[in-house]
Amino acid sequence: MPNWLKDAVFYEIYPQSFYDTNGDGIGDFNGIIEKLDYIKSLGCNALWINPCFDSLFHDAGYDVRDYKKVAPRYGTNSDLYRLFGEAHRKGIHVLLDLVPGHTSEEHPWFLESQKAEKNEYSNRYIWTNAAFQPAKGFLYIGGETERDGVYVLNFFKCQPALNYGFLNPEEDWQLSMDHPDCIATREAMKDVMRFWLDHGCDGFRVDMAASLVKNDDEKKSGTSAVWKNVREMLDAEYPEAAMISEWNEPEMAINQGGFHMDFYLNWSGNGYSSLLRDYERGEDHSFFKKDGSGDIRRFLDEYLPRYEATRENGYYCLITCNHDTKRPKYNLDDSELKIAYAFLFTMPGVPFLYYGDEIGMRYLELKTKEGGYGRTGSRTPMQWTDGKNAGFSTCPADALYLPVDTADGAPSVAAQEVDGNSLLSTVKDLLRLRHEEEDLQADGDFEVVYAESGKLPFVYRRGSLLLALNPSTERVSAPVGEADAGKKVLYAIGTGEVKEQEIILAPQSFVVLK
Ligand code: NOJ
């Protein structure tokens, strides 16, 4: 396990929209380099950059055409190597986005695979034996290739599935996982990983990590076996490299597959969604809404068994948002967000902050861009200043990758940096506290002290620290142990105190007691 993860806090960058230094309306690597000090000032010491490789951008770069070459819109490979170096000098680790499940339909492997003559890449993707033989049970495309067969998709139409084999082949076109051509796919992906690790990257966020082996069983034992094999390679050759899976099944991803971290994702109605995104199911009872109608048990009952089952082997990670979800500002105001972030940044595992969430950037209703659809509104340019294009780019406004938020009072870094009470200042305070107190970091023990269905506050322990939060506008209290009576306030949003054997919290408060 890479030791640096213990105190890591990640910042996710959607590179198109972070900072444009050459005035073409789209972000670039030099822009990320220029803003490293800003990222550091937040208290983030690690980055995850969304795919920045050569692509047709039919899915914002998740349709990779060349795994080893960056997209010219962001700069050159040398610029990215320089970014690794500059980041490391500032104590920041950098994860790239690995897309192992599919490529672009214009990847040279696919262009070879679709040829009528058999060649080295014929089995790199999944094909049936004839154009009129459907790939039953899968998304597939027929009638577009020289080869007489249909091919299986992994996501959008532009993303044919790479062939890691089938756990239980059921038809003769389905190869087994140990077929040499399926092993070759896995080795090709390791080769891509080695390429970037050798150039200074620190690991990968892995896209659709659960999708590799087809006809897998419920426990995903086929796909896990592939990842376990990749982990063995990392342990032997790059023991400091880290992998985080887009999977949201930590027992599979971490315990079986060997991922160091797995994301707790916003699946509709699940525990994580009940915290910030409950509106997806109709009435919004998100726990962090100030009407206090949420229920922390919806989160805990799902989270706790998963956390307990995996904590010895890796980290189940909480996010503010990502490039696929609506920003938390969509339904929460800044006072609600402060309490929500206080929770997210004081939980076990490694927290992930999505660019712009630190200032409460809004979700915008926008026409789709690069396959974003409903996700597009969370991918708008970072709002640095109150000036032209929010300080993101010097280009004409109509040349921007996506429009900037021009609403009255749209938040900006510049305005919030000089306001000690801003969301940005709260984020910095919280992350500073996390770095100062080892108990608050990834490995610190976590224990629930008071969490009653439909009641507040929520009280929990991290190591020797006692934490409590109250998202509502009512004053609330809960019993605590005798040993907690003498604890002093180390940090607070609002006010909270322990009196006799009771913890009392003012409206919308969060407190850490030592
Ligand atoms: C998950 C990524 O986060 C998403 O943005 C992408 O569209 C799909 N995987 C397909 O790669």
pLDDT in tens, 398-436: 999 999 999 998 999 999 999 999 999 999 999 999 999
Residues 6+ away with beta carbon under 8 Å from 87: 36, 47, 93, 94
Distance 48 CA to ligand 1 centre (A): 14
- Nearest-Å Rg of the Cα atoms of the chain is 24
Distance 146 CA to ligand 1 centre (A): 28
Measure the CA–CA gap between 67 and 224, rounded to whole angstroms. 23
Q: Give the atom of ligand 1 at the shortest distance from the alpha carbon of 375.
A: 5
Residue 424: C-alpha distances to residues 15, 39, 410, 430, 438 (Å):
21, 12, 14, 10, 22
* 246 part of the active site: yes
pLDDT bracket for residue 104 (50, 70, 90):
very high
Q: What is the DSSP letter of 467?
A: E
Q: Tell me the best of 17, 49, 95, 208 to mutate to test the pocket of ligand 1, counting ligand atoms within 8 Å of each CB and taking the most.
A: 208
Q: Tell me the best of 59, 65, 139 to mutate to test the pocket of ligand 1, counting ligand atoms within 8 Å of each CB and taking the most.
A: 59
Q: What are phi and psi of 46, to 5 degrees?
A: -155, 150
* Catalytic residue selected from 246, 278, 370, 484: 246
Distance 473 CA to ligand 1 centre (A): 38
Residues 6+ away with beta carbon under 8 Å from 235: none
Distance 446 CA to ligand 1 centre (A): 31
pLDDT tens-digit map of 313-327 = 999 999 999 999 999
Residues 180, 167 contacting (CB under 8 angstroms): no
Residues 6+ away with beta carbon under 8 Å from 409: none
Q: Tell me the best of 58, 204, 324 to mutate to test the pocket of ligand 1, counting ligand atoms within 8 Å of each CB and taking the most.
A: 324
Report how many helices (DSSP H) and strands (DSSP E) the chain contains, helices first: 12, 20
Measure the CA–CA gap between 256 and 225, rounded to whole angstroms. 7
Q: What is the mean pLDDT of residues 47-56?
A: 99
Three-state secondary structure readout of 182-251: HHHHHHHHHHHHHHHHHCCCCEEEECCHHHCCECCCCCCHHHHHHHHHHHHHHHHHCCCCEEEECCCCHH
Q: Is 354 in the pocket of ligand 1 (CB under 6 A)?
A: no
Q: What is the DSSP letter of 160?
A: B
Pick from 356, 349, 312, 343: which is nearest to 470 by CA?
343
pLDDT for 280: 86
Widest CA span in the chain: 81
Measure the CA–CA gap between 226 and 228, rounded to whole angstroms. 6
pLDDT of residue 480 exceeding 90, the answer is yes
**This model's pTM is above 0.85:** yes
Residues 6+ away with beta carbon under 8 Å from 106: 56, 65
% of the chain at pLDDT higher than 90: 98
b vs e for 50-89, b when ≥16 Cβ sit within 10 Å of the residue's Cβ? bbbbbbbbbbbbbbbbebeebbebbbeeebbbbbbebbee
Q: Is 437 in the pocket of ligand 1 (CB under 6 A)?
A: no
Residue type at 468 in one-letter notation: A
Residues 259, 227 contacting (CB under 8 angstroms): yes
pLDDT of residue 73 exceeding 90, the answer is yes
Q: Is 59 in the pocket of ligand 1 (CB under 6 A)?
A: yes
Instruction: Calculate helix-pair angle for 423-436, 334-344, nearest 10 degrees.
Output: 10
Q: Is 62 in the pocket of ligand 1 (CB under 6 A)?
A: yes
% of the chain at pLDDT higher than 70: 100
pLDDT bracket for residue 503 (50, 70, 90):
very high
Query: Strands across the sheet with 476-479, in order?
Result: 476-479, 502-505, 496-499
* Catalytic residue selected from 20, 54, 105, 207: 207
Question: Which residue is it, tokens 């439909």?
Answer: 454
Distance 236 CA to ligand 1 centre (A): 29
Measure the CA–CA gap between 151 and 267, rounded to whole angstroms. 28
Token code pair at residue 251: 């027992």
Which contiguous run of DSSP H or E holds residue 176? Answer: none
pLDDT for 483: 87
pLDDT tens-digit map of 111-143 = 999 999 999 999 999 999 999 999 999 999 999
Residues 401, 60 contacting (CB under 8 angstroms): no
Angle at 434 between CA 432 and CA 438, to 5 degrees: 130
pLDDT tens-digit map of 242-284 = 999 999 999 999 999 999 999 999 999 999 999 999 998 889 9
Q: Give the atom of ligand 1 at the shortest distance from the alpha carbon of 62.
A: 11
Distance 248 CA to ligand 1 centre (A): 14
pLDDT bracket for residue 93 (50, 70, 90):
very high
Measure the CA–CA gap between 422 and 429, rounded to whole angstroms. 11
Measure the CA–CA gap between 405 and 407, rounded to whole angstroms. 6
Measure the CA–CA gap between 164 and 224, rounded to whole angstroms. 12
pLDDT tens-digit map of 208-239 = 999 999 999 999 999 999 999 999 999 999 99
Q: Give the atom of ligand 1 at the shortest distance from the alpha carbon of 155.
A: 10
pLDDT of residue 485 exceeding 90, the answer is no
Distance 371 CA to ligand 1 centre (A): 10
pLDDT for 161: 99
Q: What is the mean pLDDT of the chain?
A: 98
Atom 2 in ligand 1: residue holding the nearest Cα: 207
* 232 part of the active site: no
